[in-house]
Structure 1
């Protein structure tokens, strides 16, 4: 229902697109193209150009890529550099966390482990060894 007031306007667009074009020479000898015929009435009626082809045209970037040209290389290089920097930052953080976990599990005096909900869990020798092994694997992955 909201589109109903716009309907008359939308129906006018095809009429505007098919407006007649006239070509004539004015009294000073200049060639004039106009939507209105000249006052003298002597003008050539020009047909509108054909509508664009219905088949989709490849994008400019796709054409350039097909021809082996580099498109937006500066933007892509900046984006790739930003991703690499972010990846290095995350890797450094994970390395620091893994080293901290190894230090915590390696200390025999740490018998309690704080859970995410704030409660504490008593750490068994088996759980401690699992934590040490996991921390060492993380150090190998992120620190080397």
Structure 2
């Protein structure tokens, strides 16, 4: 029994050892690799399933931009030169921190605009549904009533039904695509 348990645990070891590996760039532009995901505000890339060569300690023969082995070697060696400004920062004459703040503000403004558009779309859909419901009420026939200011029920006449039908059709045309 103990031997079976030992064999089973040895067989399960590779499954436990295969962890997800994340790749991202930190605020200094250095590429980082970890089995722990970075903070949620940082763009990350999962490299699970990609073959990552083991570093040999030597520089690659032909470094190619985007090559994982050269990225690993760059990540291991500390940068001695000062960080360069990003393209956007160069164009605007801002340093990286100011450019990052500007991008964050732009992203927040875009998010707020998107939320406002979503709210307007939702309101338009609700208005469309109400207008269609009113149109169905006025076109199906039968006795339609409403409550007046005194709290009494009054039934609509033919003129009121036609006016209500025309108003409902106008609302459907305005709110529904």
Q: Give TM-score scaled by structure 1 length.
A: 0.47
Q: Give TM-score scaled by structure 2 length.
A: 0.39
Greater relative CO, 1 or 2 (CA 8 Å, sep 6+):
1
Pair member with larger Rg: 1
